[in-house]
Amino acid sequence: MALKRMGIVKNYEEIMNFTVVIVGVGGVGSVAAEMLTRCGIGKLILFDYDHVAIANMNRLFYQPHHAGLSKVEAAANTLSFINPRVVIEVHNYDITHVDHFDQFVHRLREGSLSEKRVDLVLSCVDNFEARMAINTACNEIGQPWFESGVSENAVSGHIQLIVPGRSACFGCAPPLVVASGVPTIKKEGVCAASLPTTMGIVAGLLVQNTLKRLLRFGEVSWYLGYSALTDFFPTMMLKPNPNCDDPLCRDNQEKYKILGEEDSLPASDVAEEAVTHEDNTWGKFGIRMSKSY
C-alpha cells in the first residue's frame, strides 16, 4: 500500500480491524462501500430499505441485473466478489420506524468485529427523517459519524464530521447549511436529480476523510463542501449549540466539558482553532476557503 510505503501511514494493516456502518446504499453510499471494500476495511454494516430499480442506472455501482433486489443484498453480493475478506452485514429496513430504530442502535453499540461499538457511521441518506434518526442514535451512544449529501440539482454536495459533544450535531446544523449556501437538506421526498460524477466526488471525499480519521493521518475535515459549477471546496467548522433542541446533544456537550477528552482526530486537526463567525452568537464558526491556482 502506497500510504505505508511512502511513510504516510505506519500501520495500514489496522484497517482490517475497523467496522464502518453505512446508512443508505444509494448513489453515494454504494460507491463509499465499494471504496472501503477495495481498501480492505474489516467489516461493513449496510442499512437500506429500498430496492434497486432501472432508474438507478444513471448512478454508479449497480447494474441492470440487480433490478428488483434489495440494495443491501445487491451491494453485499458485489462487495463480497470484490473482496471476500471483508465481513458484510446487511439490514433491509427503514431505521426511522420505532422498532427498527432500536435494532439500529443495538447494532451501533455491538456491531464491531469485537462485538463492541462500531468505529464510524457514514450517513448517505437522502431525506431529513433518516438524518435525524442517525443523529439521535449517535447522540444517544456518543458515536462519531459523518453526514453527507448531494443537492437536489445534483451539482453540489458536502460531508460533515459530527463528534457528539465536541462539534455541532445535525440538530445544531441549520445555521451551517444557511451559511454555506448549499441547499442539501430536503425535508420531504428524495433527490430528484443525480449525476454519477457528483455522487462519485462526494463519496471520494467521504471515504478519504474516513481513512484519515481511522488511520490517523493528515487533516480530517469537519465540513467540506463541493460546488461542481465553480469547482469550489469550502471548509468550515461549527461548534455545538448549547441550546440545541436535542437534550442528548446538550448532555454530550456537558460531558465533553467535564472530561475534556480528545477524540481520535489527528493532532494537526485537534490543534487547529476555528475563527469566530460574526453572525454566530452561540459558538465559534470557522470558515477556511480552499485556494485556487
So which residues are the catalytic ones? 191
**DSSP annotation string for 69-101:** SBHHHHHHHHHHHH-TTSEEEEE-S-TTSHHHH
DSSP labels, 147-167: EEEE-TTSSEEEEEEE-TTTS
CA 68 – CA 45 distance, rounded (Å): 21
Give the C-alpha separation, 244 to 91, whole Å: 31
Residue 4 is inside which H or E element, if any? helix 2-5
The residue behind cell 447494532 is 107
Let me know if 32 is exposed, middle or buried by CB neighbors in 10 A (0-12, 13-18, 19+).
Answer: buried
Of 287, 284, 25, give the one whose Cα is nearest residue 148: 25
Parallel, antiparallel, or unpaired for β 285-288 and 235-238?
Answer: antiparallel
- Rounded to whole angstroms, what are the CA distances from 113 to 18, 81, 110, 289? 7, 20, 9, 38
| Burial class (CB within 10 angstroms; exposed 0-12, middle 13-18, buried 19+) of 155 | middle
